[in-house]
Amino acid sequence: MLPRLDSYEAVRRQFAWQIPPFYNIGVDLCDKWAADASRLALIHEHRDGTVTRYTFADLRRLSNQTANLLAYRGVKAGDRVGILLPQEPETAITHLATYKIGAIAVPLFTLFGIDALRYRLTDAGIKALVTNAASMEKIVQIRDALPDLQTIFCIDGAPAGSEDFHASLAKQGDDFTPRQTRADDPALIIYTSGTTGHPKGALHAHRTVLGHMPGVEMSHDFLGIEGDLIWTPADWAWIGGLIDVLFAAWQLGVPVVARRFEKFDPEAAFDLMARHQVRNAFIPPTGLKLMRNVANPAARWKLNLRSLASGGESLGPELLQWARDTFGVTINEFYGQTECNMTLSSCDALFPVRPGAIGKAAPGHDVSIVDDNGAEMPRGTIGNIAVRSPDPVTFLGYWNKPEATREKFIGDWLITGDTGKMDEDGYVTFVGRNDDVITSAGYRIGPGAIEDCLLGHPAVRMAAVVGAPDPERTEIVKAYVVLNDGFAASDRLTRELQDHVRTRLAAHEYPRQVRYIDSLPLTTTGKIIRRELRDRRD
C-alpha cells in the first residue's frame, strides 16, 4: 500500500487510502492469490519437527470447505464463530471461512482458564466453536453455561461433546461463493485484556486489515519485497500475531511460518529462524530480552533476517544495539492497541530510529498528543496519545458496551489510554499507560526508561517498575528485578542498581525500593502486568 520512496515525507505526501465500498478479508487474503497454484502461503512446522506447506490454492479449497461446513451447521452472516486454537493451519482456515460467510470471528487464547473462556463465549454469544482436544477439556466444564453455543468442532478427533472437524470437512464441497461484504461490515471481535473490570470485545470491520497495512509495511521496511518470509512467536489470538503478521503478510502475498512454542524458548527461536531462513520477524520485547541472554547466536546460527519489528513495551538503546550486532538489522518499534492498531511505527529504511521513541505516525493516520479535553498539546509535552477518527483501522465499538465506546472518544479523537510526547520532528515517545505513570514529588515518571536502564546492568535479566505509595512524595519508584544466573540479592547489589539508574537517568528516577523475585507476571502476549506488582504488599 505504501509507495516505495526514499523519504518519510515523500511517502506521506503521496499516500492515499484506497478503501473500496465492498471488501472481504477472506477473499483479499486468500482467493486473490489462489490462481497461481504454486504460490506458497504457509509453512507449518509441527511439534515433532515435520513440516507441511500450504499454497494459497490449498487455503482457498480448505476455507471454502470450512465455510460450507459452518453454513451447513446454521452459521449465518453476523453470527459469532469462536476460534480457540494456537498457531495451526486450522486457525487460519477457520478465520478465512468465517469472513467468507460474513460471520464474525472471535479468536481466543488457548491459555485462558475456564472463567475467562466462559465470560468471552457468553458475552460474544458464540454460536460455533473450533478448538482442539486440550481446550475441549475446559469447554466441557462450562458447556451448560453456554446456551448460544450450538456446535463444537475439534481438530483432534471427536472428544465427548464435539464433532470431528476434519471428518466433517471431508464431506463438504470446495466451491463457495463468498458473501459480498461492505468494508464497514463487522468481521472480528478481539477481547482486550483491560486493566480493570471485565474484558471488552473490540469489534472490527473488514476494512481494519487495510487500515493496518501502512504501519505494518513501515515496521518491516516495506514488507512484500521478493523473498520475504515472516514469523512471529506471538499467538494468533492476539491482534499483534493475527493481523500484524498473518493477515498483513497474506494481504501482500507473503508466506508465513507457523510454529507456536508452548513456552517461548529463545534458543529454539534462533534455530527456527535459521532453519527456515526467515526474512522478517515480529518478536515482542520480552522475547527479544530473553534472546539477548543466549550466548554467541551469530556464531551458532546462520540467520537471514531483513527486518525485525517489535512493540508492546518500550525498547531501550541496549536492546537496539544488541539486535544490530546479532541480526545486522535495526528493530523497528511500532505502537498500537486492540482498538486502533499500528498507527505509529519506526522505519529504518525511511528515517533514523531514535532510542526511546516508538516511531512516527504511519501514513494515513493522524496521531497527536492531546489533553483530557481533546485539545492538542505543544510539542515535547506529556499527554494522551490520540488518533483522529474516522480512520480505517479504528474499531467499530465495544461489543455490547456502547457507554464504554463513547468513553473511548473525546470529540474526533480516540484516546488510547497511553501517555506520551511528540517532538518537533514527529517522533513519539511512549511514557506509559495512564495508570502506569508514577507521580513522585511533582514529577511524572514513566516506567519504560527505568526498566531499560536496569536491563543494562549485568545482574539484571528482567525488570519492572511501578509506583509505590509514599506520604511525602505521593509515590516513589519501586523496581522488581529478576536476576541473571550467578548473581544473588544483597543490599550491596541494591545500592549498585540504584546508583546505576541515578547516574544514567536522573536522581528523581532511581528506584528507592528494589525487590527481587523469581519471575514477573506477564500477560499471554508477554506484557508485564504492572497492576499485579502494584497490588503486592512487600
Q: Is the pLDDT of residue 196 over 70?
A: no
Question: Per-residue confidence at 441, pLDDT binned at 50, 70, 90?
Answer: confident
Return the higher-pLDDT residue of 517 and 506: 517
* Digit-coded pLDDT (tens) for 291-318: 999 999 999 999 999 999 998 766 788 8
CA distance 381 to 433: 16
Is 478's pLDDT higher than 70? yes
Q: Is the pLDDT of residue 189 over 70?
A: yes
The pLDDT value recorded for residue 6 is 92
The Cα 333–Cα 311 span in angstroms is 5
And the C-alpha cell for 328?
545486522
pLDDT surpassing 90 at residue 192: no
Residue 398 has pLDDT above 70, yes or no: yes
- The three cell numbers of residue 39 are 504460490
Q: Contact at 8 Å (CB) between 444 and 438?
A: yes
Quickly state the pLDDT bin for 197 (edges 50, 70, 90).
low
pLDDT of 416 reads: 94
pLDDT at 252: 98
Residue 471 forms part of a structural domain: yes
Question: What would the grid cell of residue 260 be?
Answer: 507456536
Q: With cut-offs at 50, 70 and 90, classify the pLDDT of residue 455.
A: very high
Q: Is residue 200 part of a domain?
A: no
Q: Give me the pLDDT at residue 443, please.
A: 74
Q: What number of other Cβ atoms are within 10 A of residue 160's Cβ?
A: 8
The mean pLDDT value for 202-226 works out to 98
Q: Is the peptide bond before 390 cis (omega within 30 degrees of 0)?
A: yes
Structure pTM? Answer: 0.87
Predicted confidence at residue 442, as pLDDT, reads 67
* Partner residues linked to 386 by β-bridges: 368, 415
Residue 509 has what pLDDT?
Answer: 87
> Is 261 among the domain residues?
no
Residue 474 lies in a domain: yes
pLDDT of residue 194 exceeding 60, the answer is no
Q: Provide the CATH number for the domain around residue 458.
A: 3.30.300.30
List residues bridging with 307 in a β-sheet. 280
pLDDT above 70: percentage of residues in the chain: 98
Q: Give helix 447-455 / helix 491-504 axis angle, nearest 10°.
A: 120
CA dihedral 79, 84, 87, 93 (to 10 degrees): -30
Q: What is the pLDDT of residue 527?
A: 78
Arithmetic mean of pLDDT over the chain:
94
Q: Does residue 197 sit within a domain?
A: no
* Domain contains 44: no
| 80: Cα separation from own chain's centroid | 22
Q: Per-residue pLDDT averaged across 9-29, rounded?
A: 97
* Residue 367 pLDDT greater than 90, yes or no: yes
Read off the pLDDT band of 62 (50, 70, 90): very high
In a domain, 464, yes or no: yes
Give the domain range for residue 521: 436-535
Mean pLDDT of 515-521: 95
Question: Which DSSP symbol is given to 242?
Answer: I
**Residue 44 DSSP label:** E
Q: Give the mean pLDDT of 16-30.
A: 97
Cell of 518: 523469581
Whole-number pLDDT of residue 229: 98
pLDDT at 58 over 60: yes
Tell me the average pLDDT across 455-471: 93
Strand partners, 429: 357, 421
Question: Which of 123-132, 304-313, 423-432, 444-453 shows the lowest per-residue confidence on average (mean pLDDT)?
Answer: 444-453
Residue 193 pLDDT exceeds 70: no
Tell me the mean pLDDT in the region 442-466: 88
Distance (Å, whole) CA 407 – CA 409: 5
Assess whether pLDDT exceeds 80 at residue 154. Answer: yes
Q: Is residue 466 assigned to a domain? A: yes
Extended strands (E) in 289-355: 307-311, 331-337, 340-345
CB atoms under 10 Å from CB of 46, counted, come to: 11
How far is it, in rounded angstroms, from Cα 76 to Cα 95? 14
Q: How many domains does the chain have?
A: 1
**In angstroms, rounded to a whole number, what is the distance separating the alpha carbons of residues 514 and 520?**
14
- The pLDDT, as a whole number, for residue 195 is 43
Residue 266, classed as helix, strand or coil, is helix
Say how far apart CA 222 and CA 227 lie, in whole Å: 12
Q: How confident is the model at residue 237 (pLDDT cuts 50, 70, 90)?
A: very high
Q: Is the pLDDT of residue 43 over 70?
A: yes
Max Cα–Cα distance, the chain, nearest Å? 71
pLDDT attached to residue 524 = 65
Cα→Cα distances 225→222, 232, 249, Å: 7, 18, 11
Q: Which amino acid is at 243?
A: I
Ranges 398-407, 428-437, 458-467, 492-501: which has the least confidence: 428-437
